[in-house]
A and B are shown apart, each in its own frame.
Chain A
Amino acid sequence: MNGLLAVILILAAISALGVVFSSKTIYSALSLVLTVALLAAVFLVLNAQFLFVVQLIVYAGAVMVLFVFIIALLDPAAEDRPRIFDLRLILGVVAVAGLCTAVFIAARNDVTYDTSCTTQAVTCMHGYTVGSLAATGDTTADPFHTFGFPENAVNRAGNVQTVANQLFHTYVLPFEITSLLLLVAAVGAVYLTRRVAVGPRRDPQAEERWRDDLVEGGD
């Protein structure tokens, strides 16, 4: 299992390099499809079956199809002048390298992994179960079996049930707020992509008017 995970992680890192350094946009998109699919495989290895399916449907399905569709629609040209030796680029690379090094050092040395907290995490996770049982006076029942889950809930019970349990009990308000977010995004997308006034595409006059409006601050 460890070897499989290592191979998938290495492949994901390599295909992520392709996203950033491909000169053609479509190659970047296809590399991102590969990266997303490999991360979905990582989720499967880590026993997160629900997120595996969501990742494949939402990312590799919907989002990447949208990307490829827009690439085909807009047909962006390849970047022919790389921004090398730009001061901003150098500063950015230095900042990114510093961040990367800091995270690497933290992950390797400074963070200690205490496996004894594992049982505590499970107890805290099901704390509301214990509380509700105490309220009804039924203290003999094992709280972990109230919903039919064994103690090691994430890895033994069905992953979809455990995630749904959290999603619709503890985090039901954030879950409902995401529906509002999706509604706002859908309305915004319809507003942005509606047909604009007159003139063919790539109308230089329209571009001038747009620039003038922006510079004048609207009016």
Chain B
Amino acid sequence: MGPKNATPAEEYATDEEVVAAIRSLSAADLIRLGKYAAYRARALFGLGMGGDDLLQEAIQRTVKGTRRWRRKKVKFVTHLYKTIKSVSDHAGDELKGGHVVAATAEDSDGRLDGVALLSHIMDPECAAAAAEQVAKIEKKFASDTEVGLLLDGLSKGMSGPEIQQDLQISVNDYETIMTRLRRGVDRERGWRP
């Protein structure tokens, strides 16, 4: 007998329901998802993952059952956002800690293979590439004080509301500056982040 609060199997989506949900996503949903995954992947600098890798990983976990979709309780697109965030947060924590734990073994395609990843993230060339990218962004916004202050806040680990409070700006102002930052970053690589 399972635990009292176990989710009944019928609440989880079948493969066919997952496929149907993918087919029903709107153009805006798909573009937003693609951009979201691409940014999350870029946040994992050093892993060599792209946005498509995160999208694939989210779907594979859903279908394989390691991160199932409760179709009646959660919108499919929300499930994907949460799954992508979970995958990237987990990988990001490992990057930050400078080590790889066994949990990434479920990413069985070899991209997150422990030894290879460990040697890659400790690679001085990788660190230099990250520094170069930061310098490029700083240079791009050198004349934009507001974006510079926002970047400072982010690099100190501050949340959006904390930055708003620190800079004494409204939510709208914050969003406007973020949008300027985002568009500027996107322009570096064409429309795809």
Judge: A and B partners, yes or no.
Answer: no
Interface residues in chain A, defined as those with a beta carbon under 8 Å from any beta carbon in chain B: none
B contact set with A: CB distance below 8 Å: none
